[in-house]
């Protein structure tokens, strides 16, 4: 068995070398010591039956294990590759763009993250049902199965092709594929492997090479409204225009709307005024990011009222945060008036009216 695996790895290495030769310029392709990943994690490369793809036995647990860390660092090195860490067992320093599952995994409570299988048990409040789920807004042919846990990928998850139930099958090949162009055409070429489904184009965006670990107004991921469609596949009612806004409870905040070029919004991020040679723009705040109409080629430090868009991720992070409802800030302190800076006030500046 062991020898067969070694042989398979050797043969695959040769194939990979050939493929890698063809895609030399791409940066995020996983290369390096095959064994470090495929040997360390049992089940990563089980022997394949002739003509069939290799079987992974550990499934979702494996995504979580490899993307976890026992210490505080949120990027770890494995087999020469940088692994983005989304779950630190101790409090993370510099959580990545999606936040960190640390906050939902322990005693902090269900409300601080997506209760993903292998990180924590089912959410006691929502009982595994995505709040605001609308089957019609979910493009997956399988749909979300409320009897089963939320996973990293697949039809009950966010990453990969949601037409495929199994988390690994849904991202198969993505880690080793050329992802130098993020156009939403394949899983690898979708922003952070967020493919949606075959019918719906994957999420597009600009990927910071450190997954936002060292984000500033000048260096950060860039989002587009396409990421809202991903959220909407499980939370349709939070996205649909007739269920948000004035008629509904306020927290179904308008999303996909342009930051108006009038009133308080012209003062976005009041703490950081624009330089005098660019008086018409506002400075990007990584604490309340906006989406772009068109994904830029490099990150921009400008926010333009009248153009840039409010997205789900303006207020939420995707994985977990230290605040309830996976928010970027402490909403309770904001509404209680304890704080009059940051959070909602980055956009609702209350000035300029
Ligand atoms: C940093 C970890 C890591 C390293 C190093 C690594 N792999 Fe992988 N590999 C993965 C992961 C994760 C998957 C499964 C997910 C996927 O397919 O995207 C995978 C999947 C595969 C697959 C099946 C999917 C496909 O692309 O056909 C093959 C074959 C493979 N690896 C070969 C190799 C070879 C050969 C090497 C050494 C040159 C190697 N891997 C090094 C992490 C790694
Ligand atoms: C053996 C380790 C390993 C396993 C198992 C693994 N990954 Fe990864 N993953 C990596 C490495 C290394 C990278 C960084 C390289 C890259 O960006 O492609 C990565 C990157 C990613 C990214 C970010 C891609 C980007 O654009 O930066 C996502 C999303 C992801 N993995 C999801 C998954 C999911 C979902 C699974 C399980 C189905 C999984 N991973 C299993 C090692 C692993
Ligand atoms: C594959 C389905 C799926 C997708 C896609 C998805 N979610 Fe969720 N979400 C769930 C489920 C299931 C729950 C309820 C269980 C839980 O909280 O873990 C939930 C809960 C939430 C909650 C409430 C958390 C709490 O406990 O109070 C927020 C906020 C949220 N999601 C935001 C988002 C955002 C933003 C996106 C897009 C980046 C997104 N979701 C994408 C399935 C999904
Ligand atoms: C302007 C900020 C903002 C935006 C944009 C936003 N949300 Fe929220 N969302 C909130 C706040 C604040 C709460 C918590 C409300 C509460 O606890 O009363 C919340 C709560 C939620 C919940 C949990 C509902 C519950 O019953 O506890 C989900 C799910 C959710 N949002 C999904 C989304 C999705 C999906 C999008 C994008 C389509 C989105 N949100 C856009 C601020 C926002
Ligand atoms: C990224 C910028 C941004 C952030 C952050 C933000 N908002 Fe908004 N908010 C807007 C925009 C844009 C509108 C729509 C204005 C319009 O269409 O006239 C809006 C509208 C609203 C409305 C009116 C809803 C309606 O249509 O009747 C309320 C209430 C509101 N926001 C509350 C909040 C609260 C509370 C928070 C913090 C949890 C928050 N907002 C955070 C940009 C933001």
Residue 12 predicted with pLDDT over 60 = no
Taken in order 178, 184, 185, 190, the sign of the CA dihedral is: positive
Q: What is the pLDDT of residue 252?
A: 80
- Half-sphere exposure of residue 320: CA atoms within 13 angstroms, side-chain side: 27
pLDDT of residue 11: 46
- The response to whether residue 259 sits with its C-beta less than 6 Å from ligand 5 reads yes
| pLDDT band of 238, cuts 50, 70, 90 | confident
**Residue where a domain terminates, one of 14, 37, 55:** 55
Pull the structure tokens for residue 269: 């991020």
Give the integer Cα–Cα distance in Å for 96 and 92: 9
**Burial bucket for residue 326 (CB in 10 Å: 0-12, 13-18, 19+):** buried
Which of 84, 195, 207 should be mutated for ligand 2, with most atoms under 8 A from CB?
Answer: 84
Is the predicted pLDDT of residue 266 greater than 80, yes or no? yes
Measured in degrees and rounded to the nearest 5, phi and psi for residue 111 equal: -80, -5
Q: Which residues contact 27 (CB under 8 A, 6 or more apart)?
A: 180, 209
Which of 42, 47, 80, 175 best tests ligand 1's pocket when mutated (most atoms within 8 Å of CB)?
175
pTM over 0.85: yes
Inside any domain, residue 321? yes
The 8-class DSSP code of residue 151 comes to E
For position 20, what pLDDT does the model report?
40
pLDDT at 59: 65
Residue 69 maps to a domain: no
Quick one: pLDDT band at residue 64, thresholds 50, 70, 90? Answer: very high
In this structure, is residue 112 part of a structural domain?
Answer: no
Q: Which atom of ligand 1 is nearest to the CA of 62?
A: 12
Q: Alpha helix locations (H) across the chain?
A: 2-22, 34-38, 60-66, 102-105, 167-171, 226-234, 331-335
Residue 25 banded pLDDT, cuts 50, 70, 90: very low
Please check whether residue 156 is in contact with residue 130, taking contact to mean a CB–CB distance below 8 angstroms.
no
pLDDT at 60: 75
- How far from the centroid of its chain's Cα atoms is residue 37's Cα? 22
Nearest to 67 by CA among 53, 54, 86, 80: 86
Dihedral sign for Cα 188, 191, 194, 198, please.
negative
The kind and range of the H/E element at 78 are strand 75-78
Q: What is the pLDDT of residue 29?
A: 65
pLDDT at 128: 86
Residue 317 tokens, joined: 């992070």
Nearest alpha carbon, ligand 2 atom 9: 83
Average pLDDT across the chain, whole number? 86
The residue segments making up the domain with residue 18 are 1-55
Q: What is the pLDDT of residue 202?
A: 97
Q: pLDDT tens digits for 275-300?
A: 999 998 999 999 999 999 999 999 99
Q: 242 lies in a domain?
A: yes
Output the CA–CA distances (angstroms, integers) from residue 82 to 13, 17, 30, 122, 351, in the order listed.
19, 19, 8, 30, 44
**Is residue 9 in a domain?**
yes
Ligand 1 centre and the CA of 300: distance in Å?
A: 33
192: in domain: no
**The pLDDT of residue 84 is above 80:** yes
Domain total in the chain: 2
Atom 27 of ligand 4, nearest CA residue: 325
Does the pLDDT of residue 250 top 70, yes or no?
A: no
Give residue 197's pLDDT: 96
Nearest atom (ligand 5) to Cα of 315: 5
What is the percent of the chain with per-residue pLDDT over 90, rounded to a whole number? 66
Say if 68 falls within a structural domain: no
Q: Establish if 102 belongs to a structural domain.
A: no
Q: Worst-scoring range by mean pLDDT, 36-50, 86-100, 308-322?
A: 36-50
Q: How far apart are CA 299 and CA 221, in angstroms?
A: 7
Confidence of residue 39 (pLDDT cuts 50, 70, 90): confident
Domain boundary among 40, 55, 70: 55
């Amino acid at each position: 068995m062991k020898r067969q695996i070694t042989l398979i790895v050797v043969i695959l290495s040769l194939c990979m070398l050939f493929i890698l030769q063809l895609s030399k310029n791409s940066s995020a392709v996983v290369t390096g010591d095959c064994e470090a990943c495929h040997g360390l994690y049992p089940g990563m490369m089980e022997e394949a039956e002739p003509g069939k793809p290799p079987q992974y036995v550990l499934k979702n647990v494996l995504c979580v294990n490899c993307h976890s860390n026992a210490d505080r660092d949120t990027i770890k090195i494995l087999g020469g590759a940088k692994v983005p860490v989304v779950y630190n067992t101790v409090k993370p320093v510099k959580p990545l763009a999606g936040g960190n599952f640390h906050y939902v995994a322990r005693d902090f409570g269900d409300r601080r993250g997506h209760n993903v299988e292998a990180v924590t048990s089912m959410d006691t409040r929502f009982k595994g049902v995505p709040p605001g789920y609308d089957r019609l807004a979910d493009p997956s042919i399988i749909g979300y199965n409320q009897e089963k846990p939320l996973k990293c990928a697949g039809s009950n998850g966010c990453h990969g092709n949601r037409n495929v139930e199994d988390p690994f099958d849904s991202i198969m090949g993505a880690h080793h594929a050329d992802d130098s162009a993020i156009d939403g055409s394949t899983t690898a070429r979708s922003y952070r492997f967020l493919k949606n489904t075959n019918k719906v184009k994957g999420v597009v965006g600009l990927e910071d090479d450190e997954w936002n670990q060292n984000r500033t107004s000048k260096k950060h991921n860039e989002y587009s409204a396409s990421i809202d469609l991903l959220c909407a596949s499980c939370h349709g009612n939070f996205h649909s225009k007739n269920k948000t806004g004035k008629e509904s409870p306020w927290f179904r905040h308008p999303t996909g709307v342009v930051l108006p070029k009038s009133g308080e919004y012209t003062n976005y991020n009041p703490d950081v005024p624009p330089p005098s040679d660019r008086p018409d723009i506002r400075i990007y705040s990584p604490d309340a990011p906006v989406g772009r109409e068109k994904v830029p080629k490099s990150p921009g430090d400008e926010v333009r009222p009248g153009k840039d868009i409010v997205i789900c991720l303006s207020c939420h992070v995707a994985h977990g945060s230290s605040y309830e409802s996976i928010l970027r800030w402490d909403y309770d302190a904001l509404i209680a008036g304890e704080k009059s800076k940051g959070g909602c006030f980055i956009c609702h500046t209350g000035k300029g009216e």
